[in-house]
Amino acid sequence: MPYSAENKQVVIIVGPTAIGKTSLSLELSQRFSTEIVSADSRQIYRYMNIGTAKPTQHELHMAPHHFIDIKNPDEYYSAGMYGEEARLTIDDLLKKEKLPVVVGGSGFYIQALVDGFDDVAAYDSDIKLELQQRVQTDGLGKLYAELQLIDRTTAERLHPNDTQRILRALEVWQITGKPISVFQVSQLNPCQFSPIYIGLMLNRQKLYKQIEKRVDEMVARGLVDEVKHLQELGYNESLQSLRTVGYQEVFEFLHGQYPIHHMVGLIKQKTRNYAKRQITWYKRDNRIRWFDTDDKYYVSDIIKYIESELVRQDGNG
């Protein structure tokens, strides 16, 4: 079936880390001759391959990929910027009669792409926690000074000791790439395409075993050496891109804070916690059609579902 700008169908694969989103996207690329639009907030960075579970070179050659290795670790990027740029990429793919397949675990990247942001929707618990920790380590004054640089309008109306509002303004900036002062509540900017949501799920204990296996494989493949290489290139743990599970623990191990077996255990624990947050995020979206990856026919069931949705949407068009 041809795919056109008029039909505007886009497949979006979501689900927790280590559940198999990449392998499914590659299966779909072979079936539908697609191009893959990554929606991962860490795979955009160069030199961060093992710790982000980035597709291998072989996998990248199996289908064209977008938004992989587009920034250096010290370059700023946000979900808001991604949403705008990914919409342009998807428009181009549709005009080339390609079916875009969006794949990734970054919920706020998907939200920026499909629904847009307002200042209420721009919320991320990890960024919020990170900013709260920075108040303790850097002091509120430093964060207020940062706010003055990026959003003087908001900084001027806030008291320098208003911790809650200063952190909220910085959180919105980090997620959207825009000052909170430009937003109007409930003024979203939804996409102009029709998303076909595919959600992957698995029994929690089986998912945890897959996470633990992946972490062991990352360490065996050279995660520690990857972080050492990042250090040699001049990148350190203070960068926003590297304040993430897998990298922070290796930096702490290299600083002698604990032995390697403890490092591996921490990465597994924090990755499990991250997967829980991802599941909670996606479960609230009733647009998602869920498939159990424990079902040996789940890939063929997904293909049938996508084909039926493409026919239905084409007929309605």
127-144: average pLDDT: 91
Residue with tokens 């509002």: 165
> Which of 118, 147, 117 lies closest to 131, judged by CA?
147
- Asked if 106 contacts 16 with a C-beta cutoff of 8 angstroms, the reply is no
- Alpha helix segments (H runs only) across the chain: 21-32, 57-62, 79-95, 107-114, 125-138, 140-150, 152-157, 163-176, 204-221, 223-232, 247-254, 260-283, 298-316
What's the pLDDT band for 116 if we cut at 50, 70, 90?
Answer: confident
pLDDT, tens digit (0-9, with 9 covering 90-100), for 216-274 = 999 999 999 999 999 999 999 988 899 899 999 999 999 999 999 999 999 999 999 99
Same domain, 235 and 295: yes
Among candidate residues 182, 204, 223, the one where a domain is terminated: 182
Mean pLDDT, the chain, whole residue set: 91
Phi, psi (degrees; rounded to nearest 5) at 101 = -120, 110
Domain membership flag for residue 210: yes
**What pLDDT sits at residue 297?**
97
**What pLDDT sits at residue 120?**
55
Query: Half-sphere exposure (CA, 13 Å, Cβ side) for 308?
Result: 8
Same domain, 234 and 101: yes
Same domain, 302 and 161: no
Same domain, 143 and 162: yes
pLDDT, tens digit (0-9, with 9 covering 90-100), for 196-220 = 999 999 999 999 999 999 999 999 9
Question: What is the DSSP secondary-structure string of 260-314?
Answer: HHHHHHHHHHHHHHHHHHHHHHHHT-TTPEEEETTSTTHHHHHHHHHHHHHHHHH
Same domain, 172 and 256: no
**What pLDDT sits at residue 101?**
98
> Which of 92, 89, 86 lies closest to 106, judged by CA?
86
Domain membership flag for residue 1: no
pLDDT, tens digit (0-9, with 9 covering 90-100), for 37-58 = 999 999 999 999 999 999 999 9
52-70: average pLDDT: 97
**What pLDDT sits at residue 185?**
45
Cα separation, 108 vs 79, whole angstroms: 6
For residue 71, give its domain range.
9-116+189-316
Structure tokens at 229: 């290489």
What's the pLDDT band for 117 if we cut at 50, 70, 90?
Answer: low
**What pLDDT sits at residue 1?**
46
User: Would you say residue 190 has pLDDT above 60?
Assistant: yes
**What pLDDT sits at residue 128?**
85
Highest mean pLDDT among 15-19, 117-121, 178-182: 15-19
